[in-house]
Structure 1
Amino acid sequence: NVIAITSPPLRDRRDDVPLLVDHFLALYAKKNHRDPLVASREALDKLVAYDWPGNVRELENVIERAVVLAKNTSLEVSDLPDAVARAERRDEATMSFALGTPLAEIERRVLARTLEHTQGDKQLAAQLLGISARTIYRKVGSDRDD
């Protein structure tokens, strides 16, 4: 018997990135017989800003590589792969979607982000999205049935 556990992608849980970074820094420093590394503020900002298409596994691989290659006890932007080092924090009020993302998925994510922004206030979310509150209730209800 297997239990399926679903969690949102890392790009939707940016607050978890610093905790995961600290965990992986300690883990791979120990495995590589190194003093523990500490992420610089700039490196941590880049790690949080990156979208992590490979989710936690990609983050873990990036940190493992950085621990092996780091020249001192501080994880710097220069220790990160170019794609991560170039990441820029986006305004939280903006969203982007890969070309070809199904419309239903875009709608679901926009609705979820808006409800998060309004702290669950469906009336306010409906007003911000320019739709009726009834539509919000219907869509939230249909998400529960999936």
Structure 2
Amino acid sequence: MSISAGFSSAEIHEFVIEYHLLPHGQKGSWRAAQGVSVRQLRRWEATVFAGDLDRGLIPREGSGVTVPPAKRSALAMAQTAKQERDEAEVARLQARVRELEHANEALGKAIGLLHAMNAEEPDAALTMTDLDDSSSARTDSSPS
């Protein structure tokens, strides 16, 4: 559930974090370019920093759960740092997956070559070189 029509919870969260990371003096023009009023932005901030954005809960005005602006900026920076760490971890894992896929491909080729080499070799035929063997299957059973 979103607290504002036309915006998802993720979009609102991203918007508020991006707004708080802007340098002083650029926030008003950026907000105007986005088409969001000061009232709407304050409502979103309250929900992101002190409420429950996913359920659309907005804290009451003047309640004890309001977060001071300095702490809001710190929360925004912490969120951005976490996102950057997560993106770096995803990039590292994707590189590892590519590495393992290349190793898997190389092993597949090696196994294919071994199968091809094995199929090309003639089967070793069993030959009877020692005909003087006195086994009962090859000898005459009549008494001499």
TM-score, normalization by structure 2:
0.27
Larger Rg: 2
